[in-house]
Amino acid sequence: MIHTIIKSKPTRLFIILGGFFIANAMIAEFMGVKIFSLEDTLGVSRANINLFGSSFSFHLTAGVLLWPVVFVMTDIINEYYGVKGVRFLSFMTIGLVAYAFIMFSGAIQLSPSEYFTIGNGIENDKANNAFKGIFGQGMWIIIGSMVAFLVGQILDVVIFHRIKKMTGEKNIWLRATGSTLISQLVDSFVVLFIAFYLGRRIQTTQGEPWSLHQILVTGSGNYIYKFVVAIVLTPVIYLVHGWIEKYLGHDEAAAMKKAAMADQ
């Protein structure tokens, strides 16, 4: 029975797409503790863009490298498996991320051995502090990122199908890129508002809460980056669609897309 299920091309495709979707979301979540300078990484001068009366350069979380990929994967899964397929994977991702952070919290409480090192010259007590710093993200950052992810996913799915109903099978770029751009706009601000404004007002031990001005400036910078990446990834959407159509066969792919549209 199991072998028969795995032999099904639509089932195997869902496993492949779902695995890549969940892996990228979880990796992006854990990478998010690192803040990097986009301009310094590219070896160019700081942008110093004037946003809302402040000079802004691109200081981004490492997680933004993968979040656009997650939302593109959402559109591809949405195309062939519909709302229920995306919803299933989204809730599964949130559950697995929460589970991972619970496990990390347990690992942080373990007393480090004198043999514990993590390389790169970080040894003994410093190694344990580095471990806490990497895996011990604040509760409100976790809550903010998961709420933003869920809201973004819901928006992406709804907008994707609205555009598809209006344009039909053509203009893949419009429904995929358009839904991503709108959902990422909301995602960029929701996570900052919950993690650094609302959360820090409730849990004052996490530091001073950000001002709404800081959220607007930082969120706008993050969105500018995501906007550019979403546009750049547009050709990738066509490449993946082409591979899927070839893998499934035209008739199977058409039937799956029709069923995905009907299951709203």
User: 């995501």: which residue's tokens?
Assistant: 226
Higher pLDDT, 129 or 245: 245
User: 């770029």: which residue's tokens?
Assistant: 173
Q: Give the pLDDT band (50/70/90) at residue 19.
A: very high
Q: Which DSSP symbol is given to 117?
A: B
pLDDT above 70 covers what percent of the chain? 92
- Whether the CB-CB separation of 36 and 60 falls below 8 Å is answered with yes
pLDDT digits (tens, 9 = 90+) for 146-163: 888 888 888 888 888 888
Q: Give the pLDDT band (50/70/90) at residue 124.
A: low
Higher pLDDT, 11 or 60: 11
Structure tokens at 177: 């890129």
Average pLDDT over residues 115-127: 69
Rg of the Cα atoms in the chain = 21
**For residue 141, what pLDDT is reported?**
78
- Rounded Cα–Cα distance for residues 8 and 23 (Å): 22
Non-local (6+) Cβ contacts of 112 within 8 A are 124, 125, 127, 128, 131
Is the pLDDT at 245 greater than 80? The verdict is: yes
- Whether the CB-CB separation of 161 and 258 falls below 8 Å is answered with no
**For residue 23, what pLDDT is reported?**
92
Is the pLDDT at 18 greater than 90? The verdict is: yes
For 61: left if phi > 0, alpha if psi spans -120 to 50, otherwise beta; the answer is: beta
**For residue 1, what pLDDT is reported?**
55
Is the pLDDT at 3 greater than 70? The verdict is: no
Average pLDDT over residues 113-139: 73
Q: Give the pLDDT band (50/70/90) at residue 68.
A: confident
- Rounded Cα–Cα distance for residues 88 and 83 (Å): 8
Q: How far is CA 181 from CA 1, 39, 264, in A?
A: 42, 22, 22
Which residue from 164, 188, 189 is spatially nearest to 176, judged by alpha carbons? 164
- Whether the CB-CB separation of 97 and 25 falls below 8 Å is answered with yes
**For residue 243, what pLDDT is reported?**
92
Residue ranges per domain, the chain? 2-262
- Rounded Cα–Cα distance for residues 115 and 107 (Å): 16
Average pLDDT over residues 210-228: 82
pLDDT digits (tens, 9 = 90+) for 161-210: 888 888 877 777 788 888 888 888 888 888 888 878 887 777 665 567 77
Q: What pTM does this model have?
A: 0.82
pLDDT digits (tens, 9 = 90+) for 69-85: 887 888 889 889 988 89
**How many residues comprise the chain?**
264
